[in-house]
């Protein structure tokens, strides 16, 4: 395994991490795996050097599942979870973190993240925009939780450039990560300038959906997508779907050349980005984490990286600026 520092913390985390949306949200992904399977996944990952696991209250029973399978292994894991409400005051944050601690069966959280900023997107559950007090509340609440020993570090998730610019410099110094959708097929955090801003402020990316919800594995090419959470993803809908498959073809070509799977190539590309601290891989089966861990050793050359980069940026040319992956709204 290879490791990278959570910016400014001295704590090193594995470049491959486990994301646990699939551990507990049956409505999103269909039938869940058994507790025994999740135990095998976590045990195998730890054996192979994976030490970062990300979860959230919003992921159904995922925190409870992790609380069970991490018994006796807590000291081997950098555990990340999220404040999934859109109220950021201290009393709310304290109540939410206590709930997560109980479900996770631990007395501290390594990385506590704000799951979503407030956004006003018609037709979605996002009903209001961030206000100045929200940014102040986030900083104050996270500082107090850290002082009380309930969390070690703080981060945000899905925060765009205009959100980050509203934080005070002191707050930006306090934040260590921004968890965002980031893959060969989703580069809007690069295009918008979030990557450059975060690099300057020493805030790293935790890249979720690095396989574009499985599209970059190549197994969806030309096939209908089942009625699950992918139906809400712009990449699985036209006109983006046909364009995305052209990128998938390049990934498959490179994979064949280096003797890897398409998923491993896509993950290796993401983990080699300077801004990316770790790629969060959602898994439901042991074979998924086995494949993901193998991405670390994929021998991509400079020519391979350039070819992948070219295909990725050609896909993004002409797309609307600032769209949200899950809604299509600006």
Classify residue 274 by burial, with Cβ atoms within 10 Å: 0-12, 13-18, 19+: exposed
Residue 95: per-residue pLDDT: 97
Query: For residues 149 and 137, what is the distance between their CA atoms, to the nearest angstrom?
Result: 18
Residue 138: per-residue pLDDT: 96
Model confidence at 206: pLDDT above 50: yes
Percent of the chain with pLDDT over 90: 68
Q: Each residue of 21-51: pLDDT tens digit?
A: 777 655 544 556 788 888 999 999 999 999 9
Model confidence at 241: pLDDT above 60: yes
| Backbone Cα Rg of the chain | 19
Residue 29: per-residue pLDDT: 47
Model confidence at 222: pLDDT above 60: no
CA-based nearest residue to 78, from 43, 113, 109, 38: 109
Answer yes or no: are the C-beta atoms of 125 and 326 closer than 8 Å: no
Answer yes or no: are the C-beta atoms of 314 and 49 closer than 8 Å: no
Q: Each residue of 263-314: pLDDT tens digit?
A: 999 999 999 999 999 999 988 889 989 999 999 999 999 999 999 999 999 9
Answer yes or no: are the C-beta atoms of 178 and 154 closer than 8 Å: no
What is the pLDDT averaged over residues 81-110? 95
Residue 218: per-residue pLDDT: 85
Total-model pTM: 0.90
Question: Which of the four pLDDT bands, split at 50, 70 and 90, describes residue 128?
Answer: low
* Number of CB atoms found within 10 A of residue 275's CB: 20
Classify residue 3 by burial, with Cβ atoms within 10 Å: 0-12, 13-18, 19+: middle
Measure the N-to-C terminal CA separation of the chain; round to a whole number of Å.
38
Query: For residues 4 and 271, what is the distance between their CA atoms, to the nearest angstrom?
Result: 10
Model confidence at 227: pLDDT above 60: no
Residue 118: per-residue pLDDT: 80
Q: What is the dihedral sign for C-alpha 113, 296, 190, 193?
A: positive
Helix extents (H) in the chain: 21-24, 26-29, 35-47, 62-69, 90-104, 132-147, 161-164, 169-174, 188-191, 194-200, 240-258, 262-271, 286-293, 302-316
What is the pLDDT averaged over residues 95-108? 97
Instruction: Name the phi and psi angles at 280, rounded to 5.
Output: -95, 115
Instruction: Name the phi and psi angles at 245, rounded to 5.
Output: -65, -25
Classify residue 68 by burial, with Cβ atoms within 10 Å: 0-12, 13-18, 19+: middle
Q: What's the whole-number average pLDDT of the chain?
A: 88
The full set of domains in the chain, from first to last, is 3-316 (3.20.20.100)
CA-based nearest residue to 142, from 168, 165, 178, 175: 175
Residue 213: per-residue pLDDT: 80
| Region of poorest pLDDT, from 18-22, 119-123, 205-209, 260-264 | 119-123
Instruction: Classify each residue of 28-57 as buried b or exposed e, where b means 16 or more C-beta atoms within 10 Å of its C-beta.
Output: ebeebbeeebbbbbbeebbebebbbbbbbb
Residue 244: per-residue pLDDT: 84
Residue 260: per-residue pLDDT: 97
Q: Which two tokens stand for residue 206?
A: 């935790």
């Amino acid at each position: 395994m290879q490791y990278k520092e959570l910016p400014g913390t001295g704590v090193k985390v594995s470049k491959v991490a486990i994301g646990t949306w699939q551990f507990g949200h049956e409505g999103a992904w269909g039938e869940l795996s058994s507790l025994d399977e999740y135990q095998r996944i976590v045990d195998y990952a730890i054996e192979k050097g994976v030490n970062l696991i990300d979860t959230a209250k919003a992921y159904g029973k995922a925190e409870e599942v992790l609380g069970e399978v991490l018994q006796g292994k807590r000291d081997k894991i950098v555990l990340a979870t999220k404040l999934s409400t859109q109220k950021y005051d201290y009393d709310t944050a304290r109540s939410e973190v206590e709930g997560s601690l109980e479900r996770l069966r631990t007395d501290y959280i390594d990385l506590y993240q704000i799951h979503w900023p407030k956004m006003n997107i018609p037709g979605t559950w996002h009903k209001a925009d961030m206000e100045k007090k929200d940014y102040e509340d986030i900083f104050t609440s996270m500082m107090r939780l850290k002082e009380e020993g309930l969390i070690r570090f703080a981060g945000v998730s899905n925060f765009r450039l205009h959100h980050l610019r509203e934080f005070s410099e002191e707050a930006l110094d306090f934040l260590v990560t921004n968890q965002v959708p980031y893959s060969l097929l989703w580069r809007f955090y690069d295009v918008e300038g979030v990557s450059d801003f975060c690099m300057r402020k020493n805030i790293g990316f935790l890249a979720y959906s690095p396989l574009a919800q499985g599209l970059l594995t190549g197994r969806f090419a030309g096939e209908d997508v089942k009625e699950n959470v992918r139906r809400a993803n712009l990449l699985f809908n036209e006109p983006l779907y046909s364009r995305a498959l052209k990128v998938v073809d390049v990934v498959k070509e490179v994979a064949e050349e280096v003797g890897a799977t398409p998923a491993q190539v896509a993950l290796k590309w993401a983990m080699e980005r300077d801004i990316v601290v770790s790629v969060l891989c959602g898994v439901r089966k042991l074979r998924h984490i086995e494949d993901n861990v193998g991405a670390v050793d994929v021998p991509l050359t400079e020519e391979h990286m350039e070819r992948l980069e070219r295909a990725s940026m050609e896909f993004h040319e002409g797309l609307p600026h600032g769209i949200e992956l899950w809604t299509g709204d600006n």
